[in-house]
Structure 1
Amino acid sequence: MEEQVRRLVNKTWEKFQTIPRSRRLLIAISGIPGSGKTTLAAVVAKKLEDLHDRHSPGITNGAPLAAFIPMDGYHLSRSQLDALPDPVTAHARRGAAFTFDGQSFLALVKKLREPLCTETKTLYAPSFDHSVMDPVADDIAIAPSVRIIIFEGNYLSLNKSPWNEAAALMDELWFVEVDFAVARKRLVHRHVKAGIAKDAEEAARRAEENDLVNGREIVDGRLEVQEIIISKDDASWAPEEASSD
């Protein structure tokens, strides 16, 4: 993973040097559940911020340049799932594309595409509180200084509205490719550790009946992407943080 990250960080940094100061560089990383996309996105964002600090010592005043925005915050809340026509199925399939607020995500991307100027205000994205299994509104600040944004989520390269509309606004789409058996193993571990499932059997059932079903849609409906990153079953691809998708 380290070599892939180094290449992607260097490529992104070089591309960033070519864009006007009034513009942000937006990259969306997608992949099936358990692919390691969260791990990759977080590492890339941190290393870009480290590069920024190294190239601008003493003059950044703590203003961040790079941000990592996970799509988890755009899950429909449990109360919103309750209000859907078939709430039982909605809860069982939480993590499927229809259980996300894609329009709100698209609205954020459109705001981030507006030119930066002296009047630009801090924008906010939602996060996801795993202790209560619900989103937290306006929890991730995106300051005007942030000019590189790494988005991460299952459906960010899905050729279905509104995801494809958001994808069209990105500078690059990256896809983390993983063997479904490797993803299943990671998901079982993750679901048990997070308390989403009481044991490995229940976790495996959830992975097969929901996560990997979603994964098939993600793979079959993928848009053309600029980068395909191979996620392998080794220690460098630590399991993603606990997630409900």
Structure 2
Amino acid sequence: MESHVQRLVDQTWEKFSKYDLSQRLLIAISGIPGSGKTTLAASVARGLNKKHHESMHRQFPNRPTGPNPSQPDIAFVVPLDGYHLTRKQLAEMPNAEEAIFRRGAAFTFDAQSYLKFVMQVARPLTAETRTLYAPSFDHAVKDPVANDIAIPPTARIVVFEGLYTALDAPGWREAHALMDETWFVDADIETATQRVAKRNFAAGITKTFEESLARTKASDMRNARDVLDHRLPVQEMVPSIEDESWRSEEVLKLEDELDAQDSQEDYENKIRQERMMRIDSIAALAADGVGM
């Protein structure tokens, strides 16, 4: 996958180098649940920022090669997670029970707020351009956090990642039209199903792995079919990558041990001991130094 990331970084940097100072380059990354969208977005943003700092250092050798107040990052990531409807909003919907169970489906997102933000980011940069703020998602409280992701005037490349960035539906469709490029992370349903089921079980969403697998098939993979059946045109089909960012080293070690033991009961008991909430997209990006 590394070669694919590097190719995307290189070609994006080449395209960006032709933009003038009033332009931002907007990229959308879509894919089904468990395909690795967040990992790809973080990797590409990190690579683009690295290229930017190296380029500035070549022009001004006395400048450091990393971000600093006089030379901030230029590539930032905005996940769609922050555009989930709140639990309160879902509970007030006519089909509240279904909406709560299906949370993550397109109708449980605020597509119009997402579109409004994309329109703001897409405006030409001027001396009056102010910092924009997107919402994030707090997995501990299971609700969005307003104005949590800063996109400063120095942000020249903005990567939007999430299930519905290429969905042919109101709001999503208009936002897609504002992107300079849209990429789709290509993953097969079965592999993605296993990834999401393991992720949700490790996060404590279900009591057993079997329950997690059934829930994943009934909800997440239903969303996957929606994404696949109503996908708008994309410029890049990217082979899926392993998204291990949600698992700790301890959990990975346990899984290796349990694979050798081939015991589902031990798998569940030991994983439960090491259970951790999935690192939310923003915290993961911050830890990696991506646009923060």
**TM-score interval for Structure 1 and Structure 2 normalised by the shorter chain:** over 0.9
Any gaps of 5 or more consecutive residues in structure 1?
none
Say which SS state the counterpart of residue 185 (structure 1) adopts.
helix
Distance 2:71 2:113 in 1: 29
**Does structure 1 residue 162 correspond to structure 2 residue 167?**
no
Shift of the alpha carbon at 1:192? 1.1
Check conservation: 2:27, 2:180, Cα contact below 8 A. yes
Mean alpha-carbon deviation: is it higher for 94-103 or for 187-196?
A: 187-196
Shift of the alpha carbon at 1:239? 3.5
Shift of the alpha carbon at 1:198? 2.1
Counterparts of residues 171-210 of structure 1 (less than 5 Å): 171-210=180-219
Please give the TM-score of this superposition, normalised by the length of structure 2.
0.80
Higher helix share: 2
Counterparts of residues 26-175 of structure 1 (less than 5 Å): 26-57=26-57, 58=63, 61-175=70-184
Shift of the alpha carbon at 1:124? 0.3
Shift of the alpha carbon at 1:17? 0.5
Say which SS state the counterpart of residue 56 (structure 1) adopts.
helix
Shift of the alpha carbon at 1:31? 0.3
- Match of residue 16 from structure 2: 16
Residue 41 of structure 1 aligns with an amino acid whose one-letter code is: A
Residue 175 of structure 2 aligns with an amino acid whose one-letter code is: A
Shift of the alpha carbon at 1:20? 1.5
Q: C-alpha deviations, 1:168-207, integer Å up to 9, x for none? A: 0000010001011100110011101222222211210111
Residue 184 of structure 2 aligns with an amino acid whose one-letter code is: F
Shift of the alpha carbon at 1:240? 5.5
Please give the TM-score of this superposition, normalised by the length of structure 1.
0.94
- Match of residue 243 from structure 2: 238
Specify whether residues 101 and 243 from structure 1 end up closer, same or farther in structure 2 by C-alpha distance, changes over 3 A only: farther
Any gaps of 5 or more consecutive residues in structure 2?
58-62, 247-277, 281-292
Of the two, which has the highest radius of gyration? Answer: 2
Check conservation: 1:186, 1:239, Cα contact below 8 A. no
What's the C-alpha RMSD, in Å, of the aligned pairs? 1.5
Check conservation: 2:200, 2:212, Cα contact below 8 A. yes
Shift of the alpha carbon at 1:62? 4.0
- Match of residue 4 from structure 2: 4
Shift of the alpha carbon at 1:230? 1.1
Would you identify which runs of 4 or more consecutive aligned residues in structure 1 move more than 2 Å?
A: 238-244
- Match of residue 271 from structure 2: none
Distance 1:119 1:13 in 2: 26
Q: C-alpha deviations, 1:139-187, integer Å up to 9, x for none? A: 0000000010111000111111110100000000100010111001100
Distance 2:188 2:170 in 1: 26
Check conservation: 2:34, 2:243, Cα contact below 8 A. no
The count of aligned residue pairs is 240
Mean alpha-carbon deviation: is it higher for 62-71 or for 8-17?
A: 62-71
Distance 2:2 2:123 in 1: 33
Distance 2:206 2:142 in 1: 13
